[in-house]
């Protein structure tokens, strides 16, 4: 029996030697990328330099401890602690992080995060069982081992939680600005369970809400404005010989558009008709596309000549279809991440708006992308707080999670609605955690109107919203919700927007 127990301990030790050697060597061979991936983690960004080197040193040291019989038990304890740390880290990433970062090297690259969590839990159990089994099976020795394992588990969990809180503070630190909250700005009217959470807003007409589906990109779903009846329309492009990567649908009644910016193709169809015909092919790659007319689009794309992100106009039916305007976004550092943002178009005012993600700047333009005004959101981040690294192959990556200022946005009838990522002065932190904060700006008067809380009782990490007529439509989780705006918001809509809608 003693020989069997000894062999089992040796086999487990050799397993952890193989595991940690493989993991550490994989990281060393691509150390530059490993460091960047660690820095991108929402839990580890504050300690990225120490951790990137520390993990390698500890993993290799544990391998050495496990080789020799005299130090094997210490090595098993360290193996247990490492696997507990990795397990708690992955659990928190999956359940509490706003985003799931790239893998951090080693075996994790071969597994998805949930599979790796299961693998880690199994290795924690194996390590604990081996440690308890390693001394003579006396009650006193077993009790000591179990007690020590419990203490090490608590300390490991506490360490990860402390790192998480510290990183969250750095990424979402308070800023010295004060919001003016509007009184009772929205009232819920309708709510419907869509059963799945992969829908996105494709558009809204005077009688229907149109939804695309990330998991079924060629399916256009529509519902009436009260969510009583749902219809599905399968879209059939006139040619399929493309490797679609992120096909999306947009509706501008009576037309719909199917596009994939990673492939330079745009299809156009008529609502109710399954057939979508090629409108543009090979004219432009793009990351964002906005329909600003029947056959005209505003795009965001990478302009190779200036090596930066650029806005432009695409008119597929014209002789010279592409008109890029590289001077609009400027360049403060890398020209890609520092200018990153969302492009929106207000069909009522025929105004385009560009909202920067990482700084408090708005650009208001006409339908030819000529700048009419530049002004700031109410927060204080005027310079993007980002760090960009250039890898040996020339590719650029974020070196650590950036401070995101503005999240989702939508412009309608002269008002710009922005989901803010930052908490202001004198705001209730608990209320902030259980709500989405929407800041409202006038694109015509170029000023701040006020803010309001959008309820998020289920603490969903993401939401989408769309505005039409007097209503705010929200997608969060698997629900679609319809709110009516109060007069303190609708009074700022420019005159005549209802008449424009009724003419559609």
C-alpha 130/C-alpha 109 separation (Å) is 27
What's the rounded Cα separation, in Å, for the pair 45 and 164? 9
**Cross-sheet strand order for the sheet of 447-455:** 406-412, 415-420, 435-442, 447-455
Q: pLDDT exceeding 70 applies to what percent of the chain?
A: 87
Lowest mean pLDDT among 2-16, 35-49, 203-217: 35-49
Percent of the chain's residues with pLDDT above 90: 53
Tokens of 42: 């929402």
pLDDT value at residue 240: 80
Residue 395 has pLDDT above 90, yes or no: no
pLDDT at 169 over 70: no
The predicted pLDDT at position 223 comes to 96
pLDDT at 60: 93
- Per-residue pLDDT tens digits for 202-249: 999 999 999 999 999 999 999 999 999 899 999 999 988 888 888 999
Q: Is the pLDDT of residue 1 over 60?
A: no
Tokens for 307? 């090596």
Q: Which of 47-51, 108-112, 113-117, 372-376 shows the lowest mean pLDDT across its residues? A: 108-112
Strands 248-252 and 288-293: unpaired
Sign of the Cα pseudo-torsion (111, 112, 113, 115, in order) = negative
**pLDDT of 498 strictly over 50:** no
pLDDT at 175: 56
Q: Which pLDDT score is estimated for 451?
A: 92
What pLDDT digit, counting tens, does each position of 449-486 carry? 889 999 998 888 889 999 998 999 999 999 999 999 99
Helical axes 139-171 vs 72-96, angle rounded to 10°: 40
Enter the tokens of residue 105. Answer: 């090297």
Q: Is 184 helix (H, G, I), strand (E, B) or coil?
A: coil
Length of the chain equals 504
The per-residue pLDDT of the chain, averaged, comes to 86
User: Would you place residue 502 in the very low, low, confident or very high pLDDT band (cuts 50, 70, 90)?
Assistant: very low
Looking at residue 220, what is its pLDDT?
96
State the Cα angle at 226 between 223 and 228, rounded to 5°: 60
Query: DSSP per residue over 372-432, as a string?
Result: EEEEE-SSS--S----EEE-TTS-EEESS-----EEEEEEETTEEEEEE-S--TT--HHHH
- pLDDT, one tens digit per residue, over 240-282 is 888 888 899 999 999 999 999 899 999 999 999 999 999 999 9
Which of 287, 388, 380 shows the shortest CA–CA distance to 331?
A: 388
What is the per-residue pLDDT across 57-109, written as a single tens digit (0 to 9) for each?
999 999 999 999 889 999 999 999 999 999 998 888 888 765 566 555 555 56
The answer to pTM > 0.85 is no
Count of C-beta atoms within a 10 Å radius of residue 229? 9
């Amino acid at each position: 029996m003693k020989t069997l127990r000894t062999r089992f301990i040796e086999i487990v030790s050799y397993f952890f030697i193989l595991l940690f050697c493989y993991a550490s060597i994989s990281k060393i061979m691509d150390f530059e990328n490993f460091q960047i991936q660690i820095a991108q983690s929402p839990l580890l960004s504050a300690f990225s330099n120490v951790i990137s080197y520390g993990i390698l040193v500890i993993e290799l040291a544990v391998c050495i401890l496990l080789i020799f019989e005299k130090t094997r038990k210490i090595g098993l304890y360290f193996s247990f602690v490492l696997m507990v740390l990795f397990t708690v880290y992955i659990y928190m990433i999956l359940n509490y992080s706003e985003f799931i970062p790239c893998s951090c090297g080693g075996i994790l690259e071969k597994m998805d995060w949930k599979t790796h969590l299961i693998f880690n839990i199994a290795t924690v159990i194996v390590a604990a069982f081996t440690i308890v089994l390693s001394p003579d099976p006396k009650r006193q020795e077993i009790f000591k081992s179990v007690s020590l394992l419990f203490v090490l588990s608590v300390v490991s969990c506490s360490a990860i939680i402390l790192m998480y809180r510290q990183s969250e503070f750095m990424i979402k630190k308070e800023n010295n600005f004060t919001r003016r909250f509007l009184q009772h700005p929205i009232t819920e009217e309708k709510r419907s369970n869509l059963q799945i959470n992969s829908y996105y807003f494709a558009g809204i007409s005077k009688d229907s809400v149109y939804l695309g589906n990330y998991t079924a990109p060629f399916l256009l779903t529509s519902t009436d404005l009260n969510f009583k009846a749902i219809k599905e329309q399968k879209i059939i492009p006139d040619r399929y010989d493309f490797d679609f990567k992120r096909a999306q649908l947009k509706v501008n009644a009576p037309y719909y558009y199917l596009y994939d910016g990673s492939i330079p193709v745009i299809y156009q169809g008529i609502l109710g008709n399954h057939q979508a015909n090629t409108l543009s092919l090979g004219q432009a790659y793009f990351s964002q596309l906005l329909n600003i007319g029947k056959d005209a689009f505003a795009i965001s794309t990478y302009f190779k000549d200036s090596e930066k992100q650029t806005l432009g106009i695409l008119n597929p039916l014209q002789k010279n279809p592409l008109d890029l305007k590289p001077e609009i976004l400027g360049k403060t550092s890398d020209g890609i991440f520092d200018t990153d943002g969302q492009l929106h178009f207000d069909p009522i005012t025929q105004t385009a708006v560009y909202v920067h993600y990482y700084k408090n700047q708005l650009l208001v333009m006409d339908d030819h992308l000529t700048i009419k005004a530049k002004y700031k959101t109410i927060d204080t981040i005027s310079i993007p707080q980002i760090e960009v690294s250039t890898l040996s192959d020339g590719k650029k990556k974020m070196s650590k999670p950036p401070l995101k200022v503005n999240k989702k946005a939508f412009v309608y009838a002269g008002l710009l609605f922005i989901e803010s990522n930052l908490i202001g002065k004198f705001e209730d932190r608990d209320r902030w955690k259980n709500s989405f904060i929407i800041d409202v700006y006038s694109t015509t008067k170029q000023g701040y109107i006020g803010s309001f809380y959008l309820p998020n009782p289920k603490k969903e990490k993401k939401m989408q919203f769309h505005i039409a007529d007097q209503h705010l439509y929200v997608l969060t989780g698997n629900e679609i919700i319809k709110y009516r705006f109060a007069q303190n918001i609708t009074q700022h809509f420019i005159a005549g927007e209802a008449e424009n809608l009724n003419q559609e």
